[in-house]
Amino acid sequence: MLTEDPWVMAAEIAAASVAGRDPRSVRRGMQVIGGGNHQPFDVSELASALGTSELFAGSDRSARRLFRQSLVAPTDNAVAQYAWAARQTTGLDVKPEQLLGPWRYEARAWQHLVKQEWAQTAEQCAAWLNDEAFSTRPALLGSFVSLVTLEEFSLGEAFARRGLLANPADQGLLNNLTVSLIGQGKLADAEELFRAIPQGKGPLPVAATLRATEGMLRFRQGDLAGGRAAYEEAIGMLNGTTEKRTLALAALHLAREELLARTPGAIATLARAEELSTATKAPEVETMLTRVRDMAAAAPASSWVIHHP
Q: How many CB atoms lie within 10 A of CB 13?
A: 24
Query: Which tens digits make up the pLDDT trace of 263-299?
Result: 999 999 999 999 999 999 899 999 999 999 999 998 7
* Integer Cα distance of 110 and 145 in angstroms: 11
Check: CB of residue 4 under 8 Å from CB of residue 37. Answer: no
The pLDDT assigned to 259 comes to: 96
* Integer Cα distance of 255 and 273 in angstroms: 7
* Integer Cα distance of 19 and 21 in angstroms: 6
User: In the chain, which stretches have pLDDT less than 70?
Assistant: 1-3, 16-21, 73, 76, 87, 91-103, 200-201, 300-309
All structural domains of the chain with their residue ranges? 1-100, 101-198, 202-309
Query: Which tens digits make up the pLDDT trace of 153-183?
Result: 999 999 999 999 999 999 999 999 999 999 9
The pLDDT assigned to 307 comes to: 44
* pTM of the model as a whole: 0.75
Fold of 101-198: 1.25.40
The pLDDT assigned to 190 comes to: 98
